């Protein structure tokens, strides 16, 4: 055993440059800063600019403990909703990010105490672990997707062996043998990147590899809580014994900061006028509609949604991002026959302060794309969901909402206007009490998990202790459990 001396713990946090990843990893960073750990948050130039322009990261109470750092130019980050765009993003993060990370961890650009631990996004594990190992630094992975989706990725080699993958035709309703999830997961519920007809698809190979590489790290953080995902976490622990479910991180941070309003990690300008509109609506009367930061729809789908919302007769608050319709940027889309219905009961914004919207007393339902942050924000607020997944882990999350947690409906089958209308009526009227009761029960569990003595609170404490114990010079290699590499 080496002789060691404790040094100031300093974590380098390395997220993918997308809203959902940045949001949750920034909340994690703030939780670490509150626990007296220094954090350098490493993002691309455009993300750096957007954070300074639209979030309150610059004015937050991180004190001296937080540094926002920029990667060099040249990292592709357009069209992240497409397979090619996502792959190009990962490729350029590798070519530009790897040399930068080496220089950074080697001390070339360091303005602070030396980095003692790297926390990497779950999609960048090989890069981060390879470089960190060169400098004898430990790495912890932060999975920003759901535990269920992570486990589906990890089980894909089994699905290939059993012949379920590649998908051969229209088999989306067939049950799959994802360990521990056999009784409710179908092929159509696998993360979209796993639903391949060709096993050589680059993004499929890359993401499965990254998920399996998680086992090389010292531990894995989940934005989840034990009580929500207990059986699947038990499966995950057979591969990664050292897991830290510390979520929902936004609720955890709020619990730590007391009554302070939520901090904003937005990469876009929030239109807060919708909060005033909500003030004038009756309790639990509004369905909030948003498809996150990346999902796109066709013009035809947009019209079906609009018809369905208007025909449901419910009040709605709708986030219509200018880039929501693929290939178009804003523009006039609402047909004349819908204008009256939209004006009478709807309110449209380009980007909303979502956490505050979901917690508003007027909101009674969330029509969502089932992004993981959105799902957790709805769970914490006790708001039932209508789920229309578009990509990534959203397929799996929407299935969990309907079949496991029973806090909403999964619209995976399609989104014609009649389905939209019927589901909105179900969640807002016909089955309102059933969904609300269940959502409130789960919201209570989430609140308990992040409260003093709760599971996420204890897991965060353990994470902080482990990061502190890693902050020694030279590195003590025998302090923490090593995982079995798959």
Nearest CB to ligand UDP, comparing residues 18 and 233: 18
**Considering beta carbons, is residue 214 or 373 the nearer one to ligand UDP?**
373
| By the rule CB under 6 A, 185 interacts with ligand UDP | no
For residue 132, state whether it binds ligand UDP (rule: CB under 6 A). Answer: no
Q: Can residue 262 be called a binding residue for ligand UDP (CB under 6 A)?
A: no
**Is residue 189 annotated as a catalytic residue, yes or no?**
no
Does residue 378 interact with ligand UDP by CB under 6 A? no
Quickly count: other Cβ atoms within 10 Å of residue 170's Cβ.
9
x/- letters, 304..343, toward ligand UDP (CB under 6 A): ---------------x------------------------
Burial 189-198 (b: 16+ CB within 10 A, else e): bbbbbbbbee
Q: Does 19 bind ligand UDP (CB under 6 A)?
A: yes
Q: Closer CB to ligand UDP, residue 116 or residue 397?
A: 397
Exactly one of 374, 378, 396, 397 binds ligand UDP (CB under 6 A); that residue is: 374
Q: Which residue number has the CB closest to ligand UDP?
A: 371
Tokens representing 421? 């209308």
Q: For residues 291 and 217, what is the distance between their CA atoms, to the nearest angstrom? A: 32
Q: Return the number of the residue (38 or 321) whose C-beta is nearest ligand UDP.
A: 321
Contact 246, 460 (CB under 8 A): yes
Helices vs. strands in the chain: H and E counts, helices first: 19, 15
Q: Residue 418 CB, nearest distance to ligand UDP (Å)? A: 26
Angle between helices 98-105 and 125-134 (to 10 degrees): 30
Q: Among the candidate windows 149-157, 165-173, 192-200, 368-376, which touches ligand UDP by CB under 6 A?
A: 368-376
By CB under 6 A, is residue 274 in contact with ligand UDP? no
Contact at 8 Å (CB) between 413 and 437?
no
* Region near ligand UDP per CB under 6 A, out of 128-136, 179-187, 274-282, 289-297: 289-297
**20 lies in the binding site for ligand UDP (CB under 6 A):** yes
Q: What is the DSSP string of 198-235?
A: -TT-HHHHHHHHHHHHGGGSSEEEESS-HHHHHHHHHH
Which window, 113-121, 132-140, 148-156, 373-381, contacts ligand UDP (CB under 6 A)?
373-381
Q: Which stretches of 79-215 are DSSP H helices?
A: 83-92, 98-105, 125-134, 147-154, 156-161, 202-213
Q: Based on the residue annotation, tell me whether 48 is a catalytic residue of this protein.
A: no
Rounded to the nearest whole angstrom, what is the least distance from the CB of residue 333 to ligand UDP in the complex?
A: 17
Which one among 62, 150, 351, 435 touches ligand UDP, defined by CB under 6 A? 351
- Least distance (Å) from ligand UDP to the CB of residue 143? 12
Furthest CA-CA distance within the chain: 76
Encoding tokens for residue 454? Answer: 């709760």
Asked if omega into 212 is within 30° of 0 (cis), the reply is no
Cβ within 8 Å of residue 50, ≥6 positions away: 267, 268
Q: Which residues bind ligand UDP (CB under 6 A)?
A: 18-20, 23, 266, 290, 292-295, 319, 351-352, 354-355, 371-374, 377
Catalytic residue numbers?
21, 121
């Amino acid at each position: 055993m080496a002789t060691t001396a404790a040094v100031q713990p300093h974590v380098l946090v390395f997220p993918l440059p997308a809203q959902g990843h940045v949001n949750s990893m920034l909340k994690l960073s703030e939780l670490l800063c509150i626990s007296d750990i220094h954090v350098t948050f490493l993002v691309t130039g455009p993300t750096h600019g957007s954070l300074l322009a639209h979030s309150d990261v610059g004015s937050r109470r991180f004190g001296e403990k937080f540094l926002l750092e920029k990667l060099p130019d040249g990292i592709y980050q357009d069209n992240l909703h497409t397979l090619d765009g996502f792959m190009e993003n990962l490729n350029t993060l590798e070519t530009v990010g790897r040399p930068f990370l080496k220089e950074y961890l080697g001390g070339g650009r360091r303005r602070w105490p030396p980095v003692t631990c790297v926390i990497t996004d779950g999609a960048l594990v090989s890069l981060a672990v390879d470089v960190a190992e060169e400098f004898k630094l430990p790495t912890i992975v932060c999975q920003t997707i759901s535990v269920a989706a992570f486990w589906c990725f990890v089980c894909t080699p089994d699905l290939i062996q059993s012949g379920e993958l590649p998908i051969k035709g229209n088999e989306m309703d067939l049950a799959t043998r994802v360990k521990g999830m056999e009784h409710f997961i179908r092929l159509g519920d696998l993360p979209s990147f796993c639903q391949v007809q060709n096993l050589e698809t680059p993004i499929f190979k890359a993401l499965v590899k990254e998920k399996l590489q998680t086992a090389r790290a010292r531990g894995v953080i989940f934005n989840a809580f034990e009580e929500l995902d207990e059986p699947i976490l038990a499966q995950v622990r057979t591969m990664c014994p050292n897991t830290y479910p510390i979520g929902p991180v936004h609720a955890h941070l709020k619990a730590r900061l007391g009554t302070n309003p939520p901090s904003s990690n937005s990469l876009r300008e929030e239109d807060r006028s919708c909060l005033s509109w909500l003030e004038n609506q009756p309790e639990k009367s509004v369905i909030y509609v948003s498809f996150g930061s990346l999902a796109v729809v066709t013009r035809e789908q947009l019209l079906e949604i609009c018809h369905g919302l208007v025909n449901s007769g419910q009040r709605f608050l709708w986030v219509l991002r200018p880039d929501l319709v693929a290939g178009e940027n804003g523009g006039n889309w609402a047909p004349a026959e819908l204008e009256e219905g939209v004006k009478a009961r709807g309110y449209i914004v380009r980007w909303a302060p979502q956490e505050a919207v979901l917690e508003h007393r007027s909101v009674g339902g969330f029509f969502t794309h089932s992004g993981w942050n959105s799902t957790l924000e709805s769970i914490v607020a006790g708001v039932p969901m209508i789920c229309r997944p578009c990509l990534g882990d959203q397929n799996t999350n929407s299935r969990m909402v309907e079949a496991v947690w029973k806090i909403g409906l999964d619209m995976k089958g399609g989104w014609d206007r009649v389905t939209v209308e019927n589901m909105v009526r179900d969640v807002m009227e016909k089955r309102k009490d059933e969904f609300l009761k269940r959502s409130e029960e789960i919201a209570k569990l989430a609140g308990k998990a992040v409260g003093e003595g709760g599971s996420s609170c204890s897991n965060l404490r353990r994470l902080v202790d482990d990061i502190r114990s890693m902050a020694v010079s030279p590195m003590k290699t025998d302090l923490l459990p090593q995982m079995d590499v798959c």
